[in-house]
Amino acid sequence: MGTLTYVLDIISWLGVTLLVFFLWRIARFYEQSSRETAYSWLFLPPMFLLPAGAIFYLVEDPTFVRSLWGDVLLFTGGVLLLFASVLLHQVMMGER
């Protein structure tokens, strides 16, 4: 059962990373096609921070309990992802 948990955790965090990668590519495409700055580089740190936090948890405790560095990485990646997503939405929808 422990191996299955690790495999499912890895697959789910690869999925999260893939979704952030797609957001980054959407922002890059919008920058190139519209000649507006969409701050696509803001999606790069969460693309590395979120999997790094998940790796800390997988190494220390796969139940996602009590890992300070894992929490810090996941929180920082989540806040940056939220900020980048809201900023991309505002740029693409014309809200300034």
Q: How far apart are CA 38 and CA 69, in angstroms?
A: 30
Per residue in 25-67, pLDDT (tens digit) is: 999 999 999 888 888 899 999 999 999 888 888 887 666 667 7
Q: Is residue 94 predicted with pLDDT exceeding 70?
A: yes
Per residue in 59-93, pLDDT (tens digit) is: 876 666 677 888 888 899 999 999 999 999 999 88
> Residue 9 to residues 2, 38, 41, 50, 64: CA-CA distances in angstroms?
11, 31, 27, 13, 10
**pLDDT given at position 15:** 92
Q: How far apart are CA 53 and CA 73, in angstroms?
A: 5
Distance of CA 77 to the CA centre of its chain: 6
Q: Is residue 96 predicted with pLDDT exceeding 60?
A: no
Q: What's the one-letter identity of residue 81? A: L
Mean pLDDT, the chain, whole residue set: 87
Neighbours of 81 (CB within 10 A): 21
Q: What number is the average pLDDT over the span 5-16?
A: 87
